[in-house]
Structure 1
Amino acid sequence: ADFRGAHGRLVYAGRVTDRLGLPLDTPELDVDLAGSRIRRTVHPSGLRVLTEHMPGARSATIGFWVGLGSRDEQGEQPEAPASLGSTHFLEHLLFKGTPGRSAHEIAIAFDRIGAEHNALTAKEYTCYYAKVRDADIDDAVAALGDMVTSSLIDAEEFENEREVILEELAMAADDPGDVAQELFFQRVFGAHPLGRPIGGTPETIRRARRDDVVGYYSERYRPNTLVVTAAGAVDHDAIVAGVLAALEGSGLDRWSTGGLASPAPRRSRLSGPRLEGLGDALLERPGGQVNLLLGGEGLPQGDERRFAFGLMNSVLGGGMSSRLFQEIREKRGLAYSTYAFGASYSDAGLFGMYAGCAPQKAGQVIELLRSELAALAADGITDEERDRVLGQIAGSSALALEDSETRMGRLARSELGTGELIGLDESVRRFHEVTQDEVREVAAMLAARPMTLVAVGEVGAAGLAGERVSSLDASGPAALPPESAAEPQAAGSAPPQGGPATP
């Protein structure tokens, strides 16, 4: 039933649905989505809080999400100081102390309750989260809220963390697979902000100034850019009260919940980068393998073809029964790891295929990557493949949603991204509605687009032809790989080898 609540605020309550729209001008939502109670509050300050109660759970995951990522940093301009890497730098610094807690006390606050806690920086958002038992939810909300609203960004801690981040970049730079992924993103997106490394580069981190990062924090971390999501053994009203207390407890005007503000608008889907003339990139690195990535432009978030893409991607490279795995590894023994993947953003997307192999096998592997995509583009998928990947997607999605962290992330990505939350049954239904012709058309579209080949390793021994790039520098890829995993794709890991997450 839909009705007007207190003060004329629109409330949707008691409704059972498999699809939930998330309009920014609706103050309260309370629905049953596929057997879970979803509640959402849009506070007059612009703060948004979403919770999903999971019956029988004895723990919960809470995330404080800011709708700002590496793509929102200003570019390097002669008239302005560089801020590339500020978002990731800030993510580190929020663990380093507030007026009420030192860095050590923040660590103790989580350790004494056995919390699994961390943070992640992505291209379009930043998240600080903790997974705790039900009895400790209030403590986790208080600690996370204190960090997000009241970080001191101490000058000494700033310099210490600069060195830590440089070590993090150096660690990733030692991994050829990570470097290949970063170079691939740069080649596909080019000069667009989505092509920039999430963590900046060693040069931009060395040049970073505390005043710039403090300014970024003060200007952009506000109630109307903040989304708090929680899933598991949660009480919505208690979490809303705890978050509001944390904001008011900061004592800072910008976190005041007494004023009126609209939530920050969702990103436009109309102005994505136009990708033309992608060039290959070969980076010589010592090692026993060449890391190969082949692909190009993919699909943005919310694209109606994303379900067809999910089926195609699973058939092509989404598991041990996929075409790439069977042809490259099982039949020929050319690689240990090979898969296909996609990354979607508000206005653009990326599609790629990966394999790591011995240099002398690289040419054959590249031809197989191309030919398997071409075969899908020409002939589509078989009835058996369609049935198999529909089961794979339904099963893997159901298993993922047993975890409160996955559900917490799904709430946030829906709120910040598409503005639509889809239940498991509805998602599976949409996959089942995809025709084999639609799968073939998506494969044909991807195959017809400009593609880039990135190779990192002993490319000379592989005999590959293409543009050679030099060692990593400020204008090239940095050492922090693209976001991944749980679609909180956190900086620091590769695209998952397996089926696509539930759109």
Structure 2
Amino acid sequence: MTSPSAKATARTSSQVRAVAHTQTLLKGKDGIGTVRRTTLPGGLRVVTETLPSVRSATFGIWSHVGSRDETPTLNGATHYLEHLLFKGTSRRSALDISAAIDAVGGEMNAFTAKEYTCYYARVLDTDLPLAIDVVCDMLTGSLILEEDVDAERGVILEEIAMTEDDPSDCVHDLFAHTMLGDTPLGRPVLGTVDTVNALTADRIRRFYKRHYDPTHLVVTAAGNIDHQKVVRQVRAAFERAGALTRADAEPRAPRDGSRAVRTAGRVELLGRKTEQAHVVLGVPGLPRTDERRWALGVLNTALGGGMSSRLFQEVREKRGLAYSVYSYTSGFADCGLFGVYAGCRPSQVHDVLKICRDELDRVAEHGLSDDEIGRAIGQLSGSTVLGLEDTGALMNRIGKSELCWGEQMSVDEMLSRISEVTPDDVRDVARRLLGQRPSLSVIGPLKDKQAGRLNDAVA
């Protein structure tokens, strides 16, 4: 005889299972490139892209949490948690987790950004069920033991030290702070020595429970896969962990907002005994949802995205003042950054900055030539396609698209948007963005007299 509680459990399970819904988001040719989404109970989404011509598959789980979701005292918690999810579950030790993927020749890793975190494993297609089981177990069953928190603290402090020993990397954190100040987006993803030392197991567990709810997660898989099999395996793993109990839960929507970046003319200098001075000169950019992002991508490519770009030609080829010089964009849900990086001898820093500033002003006032824009469109189109030639890149594309935009765009659609950019579009973006007064971040062994002149670069 079935007890009332068992009947209630069965009824709840039936109600939960009824909410699963599958959609085809992109139709591929002969099944190649087909993207499907199934929304499971609890608001968990499973998005896959099928590529039958390969023998590999990449499986990932994206969490809608990044360093911008941290309070000042929790700075570094998202990245700390990323490490801890590899330390063991009730079913597997840390060694079991790594050994399971190593035994089949796969690779497993994770990364934390300012607005999301991703855990993934790339394996042979026949080993995909193993990858799904291991990664889902990590995400749903992490123990976060106090001894593991204490042990991993040293590892993270070493990672912070490693970053600080690489000024070409560290200068970008400094630039984010210069532009965004002491805000969640302006603070480093890794946290600081002080904040990492202050984090406790209890605080990290609470952070984990709050941000790793199924409504905050997107499960992705790309390669030689079967969508429905992936859905069944993911569902079984999450149900085993008791994570799919809220039948009416809705997936979290993409972030939005309208944060303004107002940092005109700010200069931050971090003195270090380095052989080079590392500089980033930049202005506020565009949010990632801004329709002008396609024109900005073309502008960025032409200005500092390759060996034929303006900055590379002027700074390196013609004058030999730097080995590495480039421009880049960072787009967030509600704001963005555009920066120009160069690494040069400290004695040359003012010459390099003057050239970079002059080029930004020149492009803001006169725009780029049609030839430069045409070449940049071709370069951006080619790099977009070539960057999606493996299952890991495909998994990244569909996961980030679902999490950040809530929709999928085919490669052909992306190429079409790039090709539709006109010279006037690029010139308008250049005028609006590059016409702003820039801010500057510098790491290097600059003398007081040199440091005092840095304001000239942003005047």
Give the 5 Å matches for 1:132-281: 132-251=123-242, 255-257=243-245, 259-268=247-256, 270-281=257-268
Identify the range of structure 1 (305-314 vs 240-249) with the bigger mean alpha-carbon deviation.
240-249
Whichever residue aligns with residue 32 of structure 1, its letter is: K
- Secondary structure of the 2:74 match is coil
Q: 2:67 aligns with which of 62, 65, 70?
A: 70
Local SS of the residue matching 2:37: strand
Task: Give yes or no for the alignment of 1:356 onto 2:343.
Answer: yes
Q: How far apart in 2 are the matches of 1:101 and 1:289?
A: 46
The amino acid across from 2:166 in the alignment is: D
Per-residue CA deviations over 1:304-341 (Å, capped at 9, x if unaligned) read 11111011101100011111111100110000000000
**Aligned residue type for 1:42:** T
Higher helix share: 2
3-state SS of 1:426 partner: helix
Matches within 5 A, 1:293-332: 293-332=280-319
Deviations 1:8-61 (Å, cap 9, x if unpaired)?
xxxxxxxxxxxxxxxx99752354147511111111320000000013011011
Instruction: Specify the alignment match of 1:95 in structure 2.
Output: 86
Query: Once the two structures are superposed, what CA deviation does each residue of 1:361-407 show, in whole Å capped at 9, x if it has no partner?
Result: 11110011111111211222222212211221121111111111111
CA separation of 1:326/1:107 partners in 2, compared to 1, >3 Å: closer, same or farther? same
- The answer on 1:41 being equivalent to 2:38 is yes
Q: Distance in 2 between matches of 1:461 and 1:391?
A: 45
Instruction: Give the corresponding residue for 1:53.
Output: 50
Work out whether 1:28 is the aligned partner of 2:28: no
Alignment of 1:335-484 (within 5 A): 335-460=322-447, 463-465=450-452
Provide closer, same or farther for how the CA distance between residues 379 and 33 of structure 1 changes in structure 2, counting only shifts above 3 A: farther
Counterparts in 2 of 1:31 and 1:422: CA distance versus 1, 3 Å:
closer
Letter of the aligned partner of 2:288 in structure 1?
Q
Contact between 1:315 and 1:389, CA under 8 Å: does it hold in 2? yes
Tell me if structure 1 keeps the 8 A contact 2:277–2:444.
yes
Structure 1's unaligned 5+ residue stretches are: 1-6, 8-23, 76-81, 469-503
Task: Give the letter aligned to residue 29 of structure 1.
Answer: T
Give the match's secondary structure for 1:120.
strand
Secondary structure at the residue paired with 2:115? Answer: coil
TM-score normalised according to structure 1 size = 0.83
In structure 2, the CA distance between the partners of 1:132 and 1:461, relative to structure 1 (3 Å rule), is: farther
| Cα drift, residue 466 of structure 1 | 6.3
5+ unaligned residues in a row in structure 2: which ranges? 1-13
Cα pair 2:283 2:434 within 8 Å, conserved: no
Counterpart residue identity of residue 279, structure 2: L
Structure 1 match to 2:10: none
Greater Cα radius of gyration, structure 1 or 2? 2
Between the aligned partners of 1:279 and 1:52, the Cα distance in structure 2 is 44
SS at match of 2:43: coil
Residue aligning to 2:3: none
Matched length: 436
The root-mean-square deviation of aligned C-alpha atoms, in Å, is 1.9
1:192-235 deviation line (CA, Å, top 9, x unaligned): 31111111100000011110001111122111111011111111
Opposite residue 443 of structure 2, the aligned amino acid is V
Distance in 1 separating the partners of 2:345 and 2:449: 8
Offset at 1:462? 7.8
For residue 397 of structure 2, what is the amino acid of its counterpart? Answer: R
Q: 1:143 to 1:51 in 2, by over 3 A?
A: same
Contact 2:136 2:238 in 1 (8 A): yes
Which letter maps to 2:153?
A: R
**Retained in 1: the 8 A contact 2:20–2:40?**
no
The answer for the alignment partner of 2:8 in structure 1 is: none
Counterparts of 1:45 and 1:102, CA distance in 2 = 27
Distance (Å, rounded) in 1 between the aligned partners of 2:210 and 2:274: 45
Which AA in structure 1 matches 2:232?
A: A
Q: Deviations over 1:435-489 (max 9, x none)?
A: 1121111111112223211110112188132689xxxxxxxxxxxxxxxxxxxxx
Whole-Å separation in 1 of the counterparts to 2:453 and 2:217: 45
Structure 1 residues 437 and 70 mapped into 2: Cα distance closer, same or farther (>3 Å)?
same
Counterpart contact for 1:247–1:257, Cα < 8 Å:
no
